[in-house]
């Protein structure tokens, strides 16, 4: 079987990953090849050249000065993304060596243009409904979709009946560690991830806390996170996977504090694989993954103060969890190998029914 993985074009597919979607694409490419699947990776420039897959980069359109001066000019990245996926689908329409297209782009064009290609197009829903994807799926009720959690499937149920295949991680890359006394928070520094809640928990409990991840919203960082930083609550940057594993494995607990409906919770899975229990705000798919003996997901309160209070109250229970039991929970529920086997079975079903 030969499968196209159509990636999100805004960030390259390489470590350290810009987010969970890039990590998902990188790991799935490698794991599919280990299962004997030939992979064509269509991703933005700068993606990892060691993936062993064919990369078909897309390039930013060359706009004239007149076009850029137009008063209705949309943000540049929207123009780039739209042209990228139009180019990708036009290329795929002319290829007869592909069995299936697995779309992870978060863009409406691959769904809207699915009938212009001969191959089945499978779209993984990595987020709650968006104004890009929702109308495209409403116009294409036969579109094949997968949701990364039961929560995501429920959120999209009004426009598509998605099969649920939870995400997974390479458990070998996240070995169990001895833990420590400090807390850790990992993710993109953006408002919807709400790291300021984790800072408030650290200050309320007197525990040291390290923030790890790329700053994607500098204004949010400067206004809402930087004022909380001191010699014990620190931002230490965007770490490579090996350094990140060491930090997670050497921490007492990992805080996951979304202010939106988190689709899955990749950081939570990675932390639990290291034996480090997770204390999470139970939004979206997190309660499906973060539960005893791996951690605790608390229901969000009506305001930040109430949510922080609930997290502080739950922290002692999380710190008391046995690290070996946390690891076993991850092995049972967060396996990349199991995820890939389920995708391959679904690929085979779609190709057979073409």
For residue 286, pLDDT over 60 is answered with yes
Q: Are residues 23 and 75 both part of a single domain?
A: yes
Q: Are residues 52 and 40 both part of a single domain?
A: yes
If pLDDT is split at 50, 70 and 90, which confidence band does 273 have?
A: very high
Q: Are residues 306 and 295 both part of a single domain?
A: yes
Mean pLDDT of 8-17: 83
Residue 106 in contact with residue 11, Cβ under 8 Å? Answer: no
Q: Degrees (nearest 5) of the Cα angle 6, 44, 147?
A: 35
pLDDT of res. 59: 60
d(CA 106, CA 9): 9
Q: Are residues 205 and 132 both part of a single domain?
A: no
Percent of the residues in the chain that have a pLDDT greater than 70, as a whole number? 97
CATH number, domain containing residue 138: 3.40.50.2000
Give which of 226, 336, 207, 328 is closest to 274, Cα–Cα.
Answer: 328
Q: Are residues 163 and 199 both part of a single domain?
A: no
If pLDDT is split at 50, 70 and 90, which confidence band does 354 have?
A: confident
Tell me whether residue 75 is exposed, middle or buried, using C-beta atoms within 10 angstroms of its C-beta: 0 to 12, 13 to 18, 19 or more. exposed
Q: Are residues 328 and 236 both part of a single domain?
A: yes
In the numeric block, the tokens 């779309």 are attached to 103
Q: Are residues 150 and 232 both part of a single domain?
A: no
0.75 exceeded by pTM = yes
Q: Are residues 213 and 113 both part of a single domain?
A: no
Q: Are residues 51 and 106 both part of a single domain?
A: yes
Q: Give the chain's domain count.
A: 2
pLDDT in tens, 172-220: 999 999 999 999 999 999 999 999 999 999 999 999 999 999 999 999 9
Instruction: Indicate the average pLDDT of the chain.
Output: 92
pLDDT of res. 25: 93
Mean pLDDT of 125-129: 94
For residue 254, pLDDT over 70 is answered with yes
If pLDDT is split at 50, 70 and 90, which confidence band does 60 have?
A: low
pLDDT of res. 56: 57
pLDDT of res. 10: 77
Mean pLDDT of 260-280: 96
Segments forming the whole domain that contains residue 345: 2-168+335-352
pLDDT of res. 193: 97
Q: Are residues 209 and 272 both part of a single domain?
A: yes
Q: Are residues 232 and 343 both part of a single domain?
A: no
3-class DSSP string for the chain: CEEEEECCCCCCCCCCCCCHHHHHHHHHHHHHHHCCCEEEEECCCCCCHHHCCEECCCCCCCCCHHHHHCCCCCCHHHHHHHHHHHHHHHHHHCCCCCCEEEECCCCCHHHHCHHHCCCCEEEEECCCCCCCHHHHHHHCCCCEEEECCHHHHHHHCCCCCCEECCCCECHHHCCCCCCCCCEEEECCECHHHCHHHHHHHHHHHCCCEEEECCECCHHHHHHHHHHHCCCCEEECCCCCHHHHHHHHHCCCEEEECCCCCCCCCHHHHHHHHCCCCEEEECCCCHHHHCCCCCEEEECCCCCHHHHHHHHHHHHHHHHCCCHHHHHHHHHHHCEHHHHHHHHHHHHHHHHHCC
pLDDT of res. 53: 66
Q: Are residues 150 and 262 both part of a single domain?
A: no
Mean pLDDT of 51-60: 64
Token pair belonging to 332: 């049972």
If pLDDT is split at 50, 70 and 90, which confidence band does 55 have?
A: low
């Amino acid at each position: 079987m030969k499968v196209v993985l159509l990636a999100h074009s805004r960030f390259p597919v390489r470590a350290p990953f810009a987010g969970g979607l890039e990590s998902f694409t990188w790991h799935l490419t490698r794991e599919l090849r280990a299962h004997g699947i030939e992979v064509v990776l269509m991703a933005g420039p700068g993606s990892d050249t060691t993936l062993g897959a064919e990369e078909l980069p897309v390039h930013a359109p060359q706009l004239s000065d007149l076009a850029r001066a137009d008063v209705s000019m949309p943000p540049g990245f929207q123009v780039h993304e739209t042209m990228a996926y139009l180019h990708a689908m036009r290329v795929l329409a002319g290829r007869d060596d592909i069995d299936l297209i697995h779309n992870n782009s978060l863009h409406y064009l691959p769904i809207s243009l699915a009938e212009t290609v001969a191959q089945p197009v499978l779209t993984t829903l990595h987020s709650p409904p968006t104004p890009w994807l929702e109308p495209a799926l409403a116009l294409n009720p036969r579109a094949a979709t997968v949701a990364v959690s039961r929560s995501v499937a429920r959120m999209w149920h009004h426009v598509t009946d998605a099969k649920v295949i939870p995400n997974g991680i390479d458990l070998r890359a996240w070995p169990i560690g001895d833990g420590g006394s400090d807390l850790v928070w990992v993710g993109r520094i953006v408002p919807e991830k709400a790291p300021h809640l984790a800072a408030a928990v650290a200050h309320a409990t007197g525990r040291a806390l390290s923030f790890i991840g790329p700053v994607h919203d500098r204004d949010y960082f400067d206004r809402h996170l930087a004022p909380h930083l001191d010699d014990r609550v620190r931002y230490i940057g965007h770490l490579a996977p090996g350094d990140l594993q060491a930090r997670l494995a050497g921490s007492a607990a990992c805080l996951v504090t979304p202010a939106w409906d988190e689709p899955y919770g990749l950081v939570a899975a990675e932390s639990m694989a290291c034996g480090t229990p997770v204390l999470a705000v139970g939004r979206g798919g997190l309660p499906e993954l973060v539960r005893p003996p791996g951690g605790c997901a608390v229901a969000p309160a009506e305001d930040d103060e109430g949510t922080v209070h609930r997290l502080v109250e739950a922290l002692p229970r999380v710190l008391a969890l046995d690290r070996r039991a946390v690891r076993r929970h991850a092995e049972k529920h967060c396996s990349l190998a199991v995820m890939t086997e389920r995708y391959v079975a679904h690929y085979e079903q779609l190709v057979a029914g073409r």
